[in-house]
Structure 1
Amino acid sequence: MPFDHNDHYHRLLLRQVPRNCGAALDVGCGTGRFARRLARLGMEVDAVDPSEEAVAEARALSGRMAGDQSPRFRQADVTEVELPKAHYDFISCLASIHHMPFETVAALRDALAPGGVLVILGCYPETTRLDWAWSLAAVPVNAVAKLAVAVRDELRSVSAATGRERVKAPVRQPAVPLVEIRREAAVLLPGCNIRRLLFWRYLLVFRHHG
């Protein structure tokens, strides 16, 4: 199993789920790993991704889950979908917001029920000295993490492909600097919190107080 930067932060994202969460939306769900984790918490999960191949794989991988527990996967571009207003208690967007205009967050904001939470695990390009400093700090930690995963798999005698998704979601390099993301988020998601994370990511949390 290769070290996956997005998977590494799943627990951090799950800690943002509000109490008594009934409905969730996972945007850019890929092969559905995080959507399945949400579903196992007992909530109804809608999951969308523009990749037909990724959604087909997500459905296949979710086939063993109980029918009422499996996420509802849908091939769709969230920028072209009319989301229900004030419906979701939790919306997640993992490493996918840079695949669409950032102002898409306004539609996600409007889809939150009162008390709902929008969580974005985002990527950004290095454009400042501080960006590069964080990147350099991540390099040795990343190498150690990859080595630890490789050793663990070797000890388990598990091939890198066993039990893993055969399909990978499309990858696009981020283009919007973190300083600009902060500026746009301040307007579209007033009161949100943004912090840098290791491994070339940032965490944005917006709580809709209704």
Structure 2
Amino acid sequence: MPFNHNDHYHRLLLRHLPRKCRTGLDVGCGTGRFARRLAGRGIDVHAVDPSAEVIARARATAGEPADGGPLPRFEHADVTRLELPAGHYEFISCLASIHHMPFDTVTALRKALAPGGVLVILGCYPEKSPADWAWGLLASPVNAVARLAVGAAERCRPAGAAPVQAPIAPPRVPLSRIRREAAVLLPGCRIRRLLFWRYLLVFRKDGLRTGE
């Protein structure tokens, strides 16, 4: 499918960057598209993914530093087994990756946030409730149009190397349970439902304002 739901929300996630952000962690970075966008803003980005194949592609396509800024540091690693530095990262992102691991992994991510740091999760959820199904019905025609538009644009581009896709797993935890667990593990976080079977969770440590 040429239309990437996660890429569609990059700009929304970037609105939650703390002002003058210097350090970032991208969890489940895949081929590194979002990590590169963060690095392009002058952020020192540590990007991790458990798939060796996608990390290899991320490193191969890292390109040159933007405006003399740093390149992401791509690491083949399972974040649930890493010893993350406490209070270090000013911005942590998880794009369609938290459902690949126990949700309580957010506890370690919270501890890794610097004072005033921000954790953003673009999460996936299964359709379990009438509200889920209603949003799914709303998203389906928009998704179809977007797929057609992006597919047409892709056909006009020269053929390149076959794309490498990060491993996919279906989400199993309903949004209602995610809300309950997040309220305990990330007190004060905000969760809102998005189109394309996604939700956005934003947690600000110590209440620092973002660049919205």
Task: Name the residue aligned to 1:98.
Answer: 99
Task: Name the residue aligned to 1:141.
Answer: 142
User: How far apart in 1 are the matches of 2:162 and 2:10?
Assistant: 17
Segments of 5+ residues of structure 1 without an aligned counterpart are none
Summarize deviations over 1:66-96 as a string: whole Å, max 9, x none: 6852100001000000100000000000000
8 A contact 1:93–1:121 mirrored in 2: yes
Deviation of the 1:165 alpha carbon: 6.7
User: How far apart in 1 are the matches of 2:189 and 2:157?
Assistant: 41
How do 1:77-92 and structure 2 match up within 5 A? 77-92=78-93
Q: RMSD of aligned C-alpha atoms?
A: 1.6
Identity of aligned residues (%): 69
Pair 1:158 & 2:157 matched: yes
Return closer, same or farther for 1:82/1:49 CA change in 2, 3 Å cut-off. Answer: same
Deviation of the 1:146 alpha carbon: 1.0
Summarize deviations over 1:5-31 as a string: whole Å, max 9, x none: 000000000001010101000000010
Task: Name the residue aligned to 2:176.
Answer: 179
Runs of 4+ in 1 over 2 A off after TM superposition: 63-68, 150-154
How do 1:21-170 and structure 2 match up within 5 A? 21-65=21-65, 69-154=70-155, 157-159=156-158, 162=160, 166-170=163-167
Task: Name the residue aligned to 2:205.
Answer: 208
Task: Name the residue aligned to 1:19.
Answer: 19
Structure 2 counterpart of 1:198, one-letter code: L
8 A contact 1:57–1:165 mirrored in 2: no
How many residue pairs are counted as aligned between the two chains?
206
8 A contact 1:24–1:45 mirrored in 2: yes
Matched residue SS, 1:209: helix
User: How far apart in 2 are the matches of 1:152 and 1:183?
Assistant: 41
Matched residue SS, 2:206: coil
Pair 1:189 & 2:186 matched: yes
Matched residue SS, 1:102: coil
Structure 2 counterpart of 1:195, one-letter code: R
8 A contact 2:39–2:69 mirrored in 1: no
Q: Give the one of 182, 195, 198 matched to 1:198.
A: 195
User: How far apart in 2 are the matches of 1:81 and 1:173?
Assistant: 24
Query: Which one is further off, 164-173 or 23-32?
Result: 164-173
- TM norm structure 2: 0.93
Matched residue SS, 1:107: helix
Matched residue SS, 2:116: strand
- TM norm structure 1: 0.94
8 A contact 1:91–1:108 mirrored in 2: yes
Structure 2 counterpart of 1:128, one-letter code: S
Deviation of the 1:166 alpha carbon: 2.5
Structure 2 counterpart of 1:207, one-letter code: R
